């Protein structure tokens, strides 16, 4: 009889622990991170080199010859065992590579008006992007307008 009570108590304790930790795994903190810090990472300097220029928020790109349209990205990355900053910078790079590839495909030489679009909430900033950081996944969604700037 003692053995059955111990098993029930153990099962109840395991169930309580499981329920209390489920919220930790569901973390989704929306944070601001610096465009400049992310763009200054070695991987960004390597992968974003080329003829495409990037302008965040309302930075002035100069004279626009042609507009190809507004395009969006929505990228996720594994955040397990990474700091929020590290995961957010990595997924930001992935989103920027997508914008760069889109500009190249369309025949543009710049992406302007780059804004965060996390969970449909459009945010414009010259300095920061939004990142949703959780225990397992981090995500960045960006929109930008592909253009050809006068040389």
Domains of the chain, residue spans = 27-149
The answer to pTM > 0.95 is no
pLDDT at 4 over 80: no
What's the pLDDT tens digit per position in 66-97? Answer: 999 999 999 999 999 999 999 999 999 999 99
Residue range 27-149 forms a domain whose CATH class is alpha beta
Q: Is the pLDDT of residue 2 over 70?
A: no
- Give the C-alpha separation, 48 to 44, whole Å: 6
């Amino acid at each position: 009889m003692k053995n059955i009570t111990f098993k029930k108590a153990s099962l109840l304790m395991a169930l309580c622990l499981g329920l209390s930790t489920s919220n930790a795994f569901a973390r989704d903190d929306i944070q601001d991170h610096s465009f400049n810090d992310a763009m200054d990472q070695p991987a960004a300097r390597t992968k974003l080199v080329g003829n495409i220029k990037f302008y965040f928020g309302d930075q002035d790109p100069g004279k626009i010859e042609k507009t190809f349209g507004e395009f969006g990205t929505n990228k996720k990355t594994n955040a397990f065992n990474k700091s929020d900053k590290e995961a957010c910078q990595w997924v930001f790079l992935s989103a920027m590579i997508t914008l760069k590839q889109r500009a190249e495909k369309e025949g543009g030489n710049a992406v302007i008006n780059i804004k965060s679009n996390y969970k449909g909430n459009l945010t414009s900033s010259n300095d920061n992007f939004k990142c949703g950081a959780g225990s397992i996944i981090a995500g960045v969604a960006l929109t930008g307008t592909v253009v050809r700037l006068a040389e």
